[in-house]
Amino acid sequence: MTRRRAGAITLLATLAALGTAYYAQYVLLLMPCELCLWERWPYRLVALLGLAAVLLPRRGAGMALVLAVLVLLGGCGIAFLHVGVEAGWWNSPLPECNGILTPGAPLPAIPARPCDAPVYLIPFLPVSMSAMDLVYEAAFALTLLAYVIRNREVSS
């Protein structure tokens, strides 16, 4: 597989994840919490890196894919944090998730969903969207990492 093809697949996989999140939010009307919104940022960065891998020459494409793996692993960390908050293992580090308002700041226009209230995409499947994201992102990162390792000349 060429680096451009790997970049295109990376771009499509990130757009699928973001598309699912936006579909759940705007079509199914599942309100995201603040951590849910944070989970989208790594995908946005990886989409740009996938596009860079498509457009850049060989060495630049390889570096973009290596950076995409690192960003995906960071995204796994955010998703794991969110799963832990939902499971009650720890409190969210975000004040918005804990019902803490900043003194003097106006109230939010849209009430925030608590971060410890899981959102279920598939009603009969008791797996939250953040847990699904963690599994998807980890599999995505490991698959891309396997590609990068198999093609070591990518980063050299």
User: Could you list the pLDDT tens digit for every one of the 156 residues in the chain?
Assistant: 788 899 999 999 999 999 999 999 999 888 888 889 999 999 999 999 999 999 999 889 999 999 999 999 999 999 999 999 998 899 888 877 666 556 666 655 555 677 888 888 888 888 999 999 999 999 999 999 999 999 875 444
Q: How far is CA 34 from the centre of its chain?
A: 13
User: Phi-psi bin for 94: left (phi > 0), alpha (psi -120 to 50), beta?
Assistant: beta
Q: 112: exposed, middle or buried (C-beta count within 10 Å: 0-12, 13-18, 19+)? A: middle
List domains and CATH numbers for the chain.
Answer: 3-97+113-154 (1.20.1550.10)
| pTM listed for this prediction | 0.85
**Amino acid (1-letter code) at residue 114:** P
- φ and ψ at residue 122, rounded to 5 degrees: -110, 110
